[in-house]
């Protein structure tokens, strides 16, 4: 596989072109106020400006004024459009130039448009379409999108690494019993960590699907039973991790590339989901190192100034070596912080030539292949991107369950999720591990 194809997302790259064909979560609705301050938005390697007009419509424009390329970040948000402070040209949310006060005579207007992307507002998020279609595709139909608004939690978090490192972390269930649930050497794992910590060596079943990839990691659960953790990768950057009981919680997590080396997580879930940050009524008993409420740095107007964890690589994630010796496995507090530490420590874009992959990495390798092949197929043949025009294939569920060992893994999944949300998994051969 060509790892530049996998990791580079800017304009003109194969992966960037593929991702632009889907609706992309761009920012939270609450980040823009009508007639308020414009916001710098870094998305798929492009510098954009987002603003909300007085009527509530959202505009996402190229940051450069098409007149003389001054930044529209300094523009005046004037009710129905954004006015460049250099020469006063004003643009509406669709990029149309409304006024050109320095053109003589004033009634004459040069026909010009700012580059603008369509937007929709759904589920507490502002989405944008950056692709080639005149008519954008439908939004994915995740089960969480059908939940009552007061049951849904939405939050953001930025990571300083390539998007693929984050997706791979979600699919790698073998790390859960160590990084998150493991105890210090010679000590049992934290109460409630269960089979994840007892059996860190995981075996996998993997199937390609219409939307991406379906993976089931399994461990012995005593007697003639297996402990399954079911997870999904869904094009182009969505995941559904398995830290809840299968079929009980709805979740969709988008790992949106800001650029090649920065990623924004948009996490949408039922409010009782174990990783939700708000109204989290059903948290498990407190475990050393496993908190779910985080401190964020104040947002700034920088291109990368939004939703940054205060515990980060600049303070070594506040690792406590005494706790690492006698308490939690990592000595780092917070599940998301633990994930950030290992993913960002790989480097902004990991050099995968140093990897030594094993059987437990089969889901990671398969996701890479699916992404790589889809990007090349789109570039070379304009092959339809997976799931793009089939929103119903995103009606999938993740989670864990103990089941009889003799039951087929696809049956275990199908028998324990809502019947209107059946995955369309095609049981294709799993990838061989290796590059």
Q: Is the pLDDT of residue 354 over 80?
A: yes
Six token digits for residue 190: 């934290």
Confidence of residue 196 (pLDDT cuts 50, 70, 90): low
Residue range 171-183, pLDDT digits in tens: 998 888 788 877 6
CA distances from 345 to 181, 292, 340 (A): 20, 21, 8
Q: State the Cα–Cα distance between residues 3 and 371, nearest whole angstrom.
A: 11
Confidence of residue 357 (pLDDT cuts 50, 70, 90): very high
* Contact between 218 and 409 (Cβ < 8 Å): yes
Confidence of residue 355 (pLDDT cuts 50, 70, 90): very high
Residue range 294-314, pLDDT digits in tens: 899 999 999 999 999 999 999
pTM above 0.85, yes or no: yes
Q: Which domains does the chain have, with CATH numbers?
A: 23-129 (2.102.10.10), 143-421 (3.90.380)
The pLDDT, as a whole number, for residue 430 is 35
- Collapsing DSSP to helix, strand or coil, 178 comes out as helix
Extract the runs of DSSP E, i.e. beta strands, from 160-260.
203-208, 212-220, 225-234, 238-240, 251-259
The one-character DSSP state at 72 is G
Residue range 49-78, pLDDT digits in tens: 999 999 999 999 999 999 999 999 999 999
What stretch of H or E contains 323?
Answer: helix 321-326
Cα–Cα nearest to 338, from 353, 328, 325, 351: 328
Give the sheet arrangement for strand 76-77, strand by strand. 76-77, 82-83, 90-91, 97-99
Residue range 263-279, pLDDT digits in tens: 999 999 998 887 776 54
Q: Angle at CA 431, nearest 5°, toward 426 and 435?
A: 150
The pLDDT of 14-36, averaged and rounded, is 97
The pLDDT, as a whole number, for residue 195 is 61
Q: Is the pLDDT of residue 405 over 70?
A: yes
């Amino acid at each position: 596989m060509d790892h530049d194809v996998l990791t580079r997302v800017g304009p003109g790259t194969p992966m960037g072109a593929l991702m632009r064909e889907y609706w992309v979560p761009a920012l939270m609705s609450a980040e823009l106020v009508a007639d308020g301050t414009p916001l710098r938005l870094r998305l798929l390697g492009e510098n954009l400006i987002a603003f909300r007009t007085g009527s509530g419509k959202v505009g996402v424009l190229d940051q450069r004024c098409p007149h003389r390329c001054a930044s529209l970040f300094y523009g005046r948000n004037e009710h129905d459009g954004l006015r460049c402070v250099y020469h006063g040209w004003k643009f509406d949310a669709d990029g149309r130039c409304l006024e050109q006060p320095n053109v003589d005579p004033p009634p004459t207007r040069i026909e010009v448009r700012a580059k603008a992307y369509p937007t929709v507002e759904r589920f507490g998020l502002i989405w944008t379409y950056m692709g080639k279609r005149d008519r954008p595709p439908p939004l994915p139909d995740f089960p969480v999108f059908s939940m009552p608004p007061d049951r849904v939690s939405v939050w953001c978090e930025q990571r300083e690494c390539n998007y693929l490192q984050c997706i791979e972390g979600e699919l790698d269930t073998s790390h859960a019993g160590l990084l998150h649930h493991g105890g210090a050497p010679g000590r049992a794992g934290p109460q409630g960590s269960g089979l994840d910590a007892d059996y860190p060596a995981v075996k996998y079943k993997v199937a390609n699907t219409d939307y991406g990839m379906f993976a089931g990691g399994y461990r012995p659960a005593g007697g003639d039973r297996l402990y399954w953790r079911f997870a999904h990768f869904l094009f182009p950057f969505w995941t559904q991790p398995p830290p809840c009981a299968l079929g009980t919680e709805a979740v969709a997590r988008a790992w949106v590339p800001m650029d090649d080396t920065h990623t924004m997580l948009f996490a949408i879930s039922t409010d009782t989901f174990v990783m939700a940050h708000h109204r989290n009524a059903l948290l498990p008993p407190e475990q050393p190192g496993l908190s779910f409420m985080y401190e964020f740095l104040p947002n700034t107007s920088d291109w990368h100034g939004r939703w940054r964890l205060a515990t980060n690589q600049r303070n070594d994630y506040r690792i406590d070596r005494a706790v690492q010796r006698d308490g939690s496995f990592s000595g780092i507090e917070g599940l998301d912080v633990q994930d950030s530490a290992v993913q960002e420590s790989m480097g902004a874009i990991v050099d995968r030539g140093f990897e030594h992959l094993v059987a437990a990495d089969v889901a990671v390798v398969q996701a890479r292949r699916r992404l790589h092949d889809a990007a090349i197929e789109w570039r070379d043949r304009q092959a339809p991107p997976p799931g793009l025009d089939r929103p119903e294939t995103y009606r999938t569920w993740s989670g864990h369950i103990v089941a009889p060992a003799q039951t087929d893994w696809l049956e275990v999944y199908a028998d324990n999720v809502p019947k209107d949300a059946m995955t369309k998994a095609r049981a294709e051969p799993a990838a061989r591990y290796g590059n």
